[in-house]
Amino acid sequence: MLSEFQLKNKITLRNKAVLAPMTTWASNTDLTIADDEADYYAARSKGPGMVITGTTFFEKNGQGFSNQFYAGSDEFIPSLKKLADSIKAGGAKAILQIFHGGRMADPKFDIVSASSVKPTHTLFGPVDDMKAPRELTSKEVWDLVEGFYETTRRAIQAGFDGIEIHGANTYLIQQFFSPHSNRRMDEWGGSNKERIQFPLEVIKAVTRARDEFTNESFIIGYRFSPEEMEEPGITLEDTLYLVDILSDMKELDYLHISLPHFAKTSIRDETDKRPVGRVISEKIAGRKPFIGVGGICTQKDVHDALEIGYDLIAVGHAMITDPHWVEKIERGEEIDTVVHMKKLEEQKIPVKLAEAVKNFKGWFNIED
């Protein structure tokens, strides 16, 4: 993990460690990057080769979290630059993750999705009180494609080294690919071939922005979730179809799986004991760098993740609690796995983030 890694033979990452994209709930009330949020990223950018930000949004009805930083107009470019600068100062490549929440967005807005189908599951389990979204018109879908283009332009102008398209975690791009949330019968829905059209158009749009405003050194990644619990939902077979197409796209520089644990097996077929990451790595077959994530904390975790077939190692919770995780792994030192509520400044954890993680019982060790 500590050796250099080449992206598209032009970009050198100082190592294979990545700060995983995690929401901070820490931006200012005007949705600009807060000082302690910038400090959080700066502290975690001195070790990994690449830092992927928590996801940003560009349409008001795409906001998924409170105090989530915004990228929907040019007046927010200085805020984005503040974030990019804080990451690049530490020597890591700065990647801006972009999304639209779709039917998982804040319900106070006009909730939209591929079709008017209520979700029955979130990342945290089954739900029965979600709001039914409004089905997007075809014109609105094209407007959202253009929104990804404009947000990528702003990322370039703010100084980011790349963007990641967030096609995972039940959000809008995944909703278009899912047979549960996409029941359309127009050009955006139907079989896998039609349901993949929205993700493909988003990829084309962000690539167009790259080609118009910078050059091929700008990194474009794509994140996906391999399965859904809903019926009908995304199956591993569906994802292998998706990954096979994405792996051949010259526009993309890496693929990034979203899993709660790097060695997780299928959530739909309990008899299948193969790590999903290995199955997908075998389908990619070296055509794209592949980022693994989930539950990686120790040197053994790193070794086991690389053995599965991941090329890059994304670390989430362990880098929240210990901003020096990479350096400590290199030196063989003990990792701090606790959020110390009385030492947040020392850990460079924003107060809003520390308060938010209290709601995720079992996910973090918290010391009051």
What the chain holds in terms of domains, given with CATH numbers, is 5-367 (3.20.20.70)
Give the pLDDT band (50/70/90) at residue 78.
very high
Give the pLDDT band (50/70/90) at residue 310.
very high
Cβ contact 179:188 at 8 Å: no
Strands 254-257 and 219-224: parallel
Query: Does residue 362 register a pLDDT over 90?
Result: no
Q: How many CB atoms lie within 10 A of CB 288?
A: 22
Cβ contact 15:3 at 8 Å: yes
Tell me: the pLDDT tens digits for 222-237?
999 999 999 999 999 9
Q: Which residues contact 309 (CB under 8 A, 6 or more apart)?
A: 277, 278, 281, 282, 290, 292
Give the pLDDT band (50/70/90) at residue 334.
very high
Average pLDDT over residues 321-343: 97
For residues 108 and 54, the model is more confident at: 54
Q: How much is the pLDDT for 185?
A: 95
Spatial distance between the Cα atoms of 41 and 19, rounded to a whole number of angstroms = 9
Peptide bond into 232 cis (omega under 30): yes
**Mean of per-residue pLDDT scores for the chain:** 96
Q: What percent of the chain has pLDDT over 70?
A: 100
pTM summary value:
0.98
Q: How much is the pLDDT for 217?
A: 95
Cβ contact 296:262 at 8 Å: yes
